[in-house]
């Protein structure tokens, strides 16, 4: 009897220990352990736009610096999942891990759920372990690993604070910090298992961060193929090509036609709404432009979407009509609000600082405009557009020396623009600087002899 009781006692002890070893609490890892297990499966995703200023065929060249930077998670051999809003129409994609770069191609796309899958040949990184959706509960400890503001492999911790449903879509709400650049990163549980893809946060909210649930990965390929068939049936590829070309050429009539159809075929792609909003802005249809911009920034609240939204409002706020300048303070105020948001998200973006300078110039905030433009030039010293705007401001202020200096820096930054020489000549004539006028004229004569001849003919009349 004693032996039987002892046997039963040890059986209970062993069973208890075995159960403890396999319980979530016993397997829970701390932040350092989670980081060590998942860091090789989290990458940087960068998007490069086409360089329209490149010599030769612009279709073959891309800008040196990425226009967007986000995160991604390795889910299989050479396969990376990220947010669709990290990618962009007609752009080059690269994946970076610990300084090594890899070319990436878009394999599956589901913009409605903001989930995209990339193929990265030769990546050779281990796939993240996938967690079980049914085991996700509010209060569970989680860790977000991504690249906020380009800081590769950053970890933050928190809990699942809620499971939300919006328009039939399920989202994981978490207190783990998510910043710009975290989009597409991984949300891991305390067992270092991937349970979500971090996607967005509520602006000006506290700890209101969200991730899409990991179970959507199993549906991604099927939904992508279904979307692709619908896209091909509507002639989406040709429409997209037309829209990109019209966008870069400034053909706003063609862009309006193409973008309207694209937004109808694929209403979950933010770039199509930016195209549409910009086309409406150039047609001075402010209400429709505002609706399109609002839709774009709802789908993708990234810095460049806010910047392009600001540019659209700026176009509507400042225009030439019948040879006179017209300003709309309401549109300019909206432009300033949008560009301020862009700069909060990407404080080192020279394009945003330059546009902010132009907006403040038209609002009459000249001191702030000068500070904005100098910030743009600190980041990108050869930005001829910023030098031109500074030249105009100094001309209006009657500062001949600074206006001439800015003019010369603008011409040095853009050697091949005869149009810029014409602008500088007008400014030089206005401030009475004959030496600057001659310098600009010599450049015009070399770049466009016909325009130089017309200029001389007009002066003689």
Per-residue HEC secondary structure of the chain comes to CHHHHHHHHHHHHHHHHHHHHCCHHHHCCCHHHHHHHHHHHEEEEEEECECCCCCCCHHHCECCCCCEEEEEEEEECCEEEECHHHCCCCCEEEEEECCEEEEEEEEEEECCCCEEEEECCCCCCCCCEECCHHHCCCCCEEEEEECHHHCCCEEEEEEEEEEEEECCEEEEEECCCCCCCCCCCEEEECCCEEEEEEEEECCCCCCCEEEEEHHHHHHHHHHHHHHHHHHHHCCHHHHHHHHHHHHHHCCHHHHHHHHHHHHHHCCCCHHHHHHHHHHHHHCCCHHHHHHHHHHHHHHCCCHHHHHHHHHHHHHHHEEEECCEEEECHHHHHHHHHHHHHHHHHCCCCHHHHHHHHHHHHHCCCHHHHHHHHHHHHHHCCCCHHHHHHHHHHHHHCCCHHHHHHHHHHHHHHCCCCHHHHHHHHHHHHHHCCHHHHHHHHHHHHHHCHHHHHHHHHHHHC
pLDDT of residue 433: 94
Closest among 185, 184, 196 to 159, alpha carbons compared:
196
The least confident of 198-202, 232-236, 353-357 is: 198-202
pLDDT bucket at 203, cuts 50 / 70 / 90: very low
- Range scoring the smallest mean pLDDT among 12-16, 203-207, 323-327: 12-16
**Amino acid 51: pLDDT:** 64
- Please name which of 190, 217, 22, 26 lies closest in space to residue 127, comparing C-alpha atoms: 217
pLDDT attached to residue 201: 56
| pTM for this predicted structure | 0.74
Q: How confident is the model at residue 299 (pLDDT cuts 50, 70, 90)?
A: confident
Q: How confident is the model at residue 202 (pLDDT cuts 50, 70, 90)?
A: low
Lowest mean pLDDT among 46-55, 205-214, 401-410: 46-55
Give me the pLDDT at residue 320, please. Answer: 64
* pLDDT interval class at 379 (50, 70, 90): very high
What is the share, in percent, of the chain residues with pLDDT greater than 70?
86
Q: Of 61-75, 79-93, 305-319, 421-435, give the lowest mean pLDDT range.
A: 61-75
Q: Give the whole-angstrom CA distance, residue 28 versus residue 34.
A: 9
- Tens digits of per-residue pLDDT, 311-321? 999 988 987 66
**Would you place residue 163 in the very low, low, confident or very high pLDDT band (cuts 50, 70, 90)?**
confident
Q: Is the pLDDT of residue 3 over 70?
A: no
Whether 154 and 145 have beta carbons less than 8 Å apart is answered as: yes
Residues 6+ apart with CB under 8 A from 276: 256, 259, 260, 262, 263, 292
Per-residue pLDDT at 17: 39
Sign of CA dihedral 77, 105, 179, 169: negative
**Choice among 31-35, 204-208, 391-395, 422-426 with the minimum mean pLDDT:** 204-208
**Phi and psi at residue 158, to the nearest 5°:** 180, -150
- The residues that bridge with 172 in the sheet, in sequence order, are 163, 211
Dihedral angle at the C-alpha atoms of 150, 155, 159, 165, nearest 10 degrees? 30
Query: Which pLDDT band holds residue 4 (cuts at 50, 70, 90)?
Result: very low
Least confident of 48-52, 153-157, 190-194, 268-272: 48-52
pLDDT at 321: 62
What is residue 293's predicted lDDT score, i.e. its pLDDT? 93
pLDDT of res. 116: 93
CA dihedral 210, 211, 212, 214 (to 10 degrees): -150
Phi first, then psi: give them for residue 86, nearest 5 degrees: -75, -30
Other Cβ atoms closer than 10 A to 340: 15
Per-residue pLDDT at 154 exceeds 60 = yes
Identify which of 43-47, 143-147, 298-302, 406-410 has the greatest average pLDDT.
406-410
Ramachandran region of residue 105, left (φ > 0), alpha (ψ -120 to 50) or beta? beta
- pLDDT of 189: 93
Over residues 41-67, the pLDDT tens digits come to 999 999 887 765 555 454 456 777 777
CA 127 to CA 78: how far, in whole Å?
9
Residue closest to 435 by CA, chosen among 385, 392, 401, 390: 401
C-beta of residue 280 within 8 angstroms of C-beta of residue 256: yes
């Amino acid at each position: 009897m004693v032996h039987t009781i002892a046997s039963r006692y040890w059986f209970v002890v062993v069973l208890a220990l075995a159960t403890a070893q396999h319980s979530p609490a016993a397997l829970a890892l701390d932040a350092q352990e989670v980081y060590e297990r998942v860091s090789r499966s989290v990458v940087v995703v960068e998007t490069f736009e086409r360089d329209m200023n490149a010599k030769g065929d612009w279709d073959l060249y891309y800008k040196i610096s990425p226009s967007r930077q986000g995160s991604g998670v390795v889910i299989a051999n050479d396969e990376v999942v990220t947010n669709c809003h990290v990618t962009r129409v007609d752009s080059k994609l690269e994946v970076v891990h610990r300084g090594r770069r890899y070319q990436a191609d878009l394999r599956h796309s589901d913009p409605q759920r903001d989930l995209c899958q990339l193929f990265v040949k030769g990546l050779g990184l281990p796939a993240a372990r996938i967690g079980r959706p049914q085991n996700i509960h509010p209060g569970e400890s989680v860790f977000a690993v991504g690249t906020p503001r380009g800081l590769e492999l950053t970890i933050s911790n928190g809990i699942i604070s809620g499971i939300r449903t919006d328009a039939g879509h399920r989202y994981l709400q978490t207190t783990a910090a998510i910043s710009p650049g975290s989009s597409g990163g991984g949300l891991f549980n305390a067992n270092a298992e991937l349970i979500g893809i971090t996607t967005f946060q509520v602006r000006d909210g506290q700890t209101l961060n969200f991730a899409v649930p990991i179970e959507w990965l199993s549906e991604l390929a099927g939904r992508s193929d279904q979307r692709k068939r619908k896209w091909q049936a509507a002639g989406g590829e040709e429409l997209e090509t037309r829209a990109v070309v019209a966008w870069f050429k400034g053909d706003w009539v063609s862009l309006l036609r193409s973008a309207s159809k694209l937004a109808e075929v694929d209403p979950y792609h933010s770039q199509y709404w930016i195209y549409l909003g910009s086309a409406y802005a150039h047609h001075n249809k402010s209400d429709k432009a505002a609706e399109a911009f609002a839709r774009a920034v709802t789908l993708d609240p990234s810095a460049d979407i806010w910047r392009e939204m600001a540019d659209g409002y700026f176009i509507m706020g400042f225009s030439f009509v019948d040879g006179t300048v017209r300003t709309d303070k309401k549109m300019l105020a909206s432009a300033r609000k949008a560009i301020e948001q862009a700069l909060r998200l990407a404080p080192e973006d020279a394009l945003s600082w330059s546009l902010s300078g132009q907006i403040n110039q038209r609002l009459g905030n000249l001191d702030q405009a000068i500070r904005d433009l100098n910030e743009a030039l600190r980041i990108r010293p050869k930005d001829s557009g910023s030098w031109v705007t500074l030249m105009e401001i100094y001309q209006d202020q009657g500062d001949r020396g600074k206006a001439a200096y800015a003019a010369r820096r603008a011409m040095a930054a853009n050697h091949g623009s005869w149009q810029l020489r014409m602008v500088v000549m007008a400014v030089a004539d206005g401030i009475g600087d004959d030496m600057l006028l001659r310098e600009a004229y010599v450049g015009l004569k070399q770049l466009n002899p016909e325009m130089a001849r017309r200029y001389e003919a007009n002066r003689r009349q």
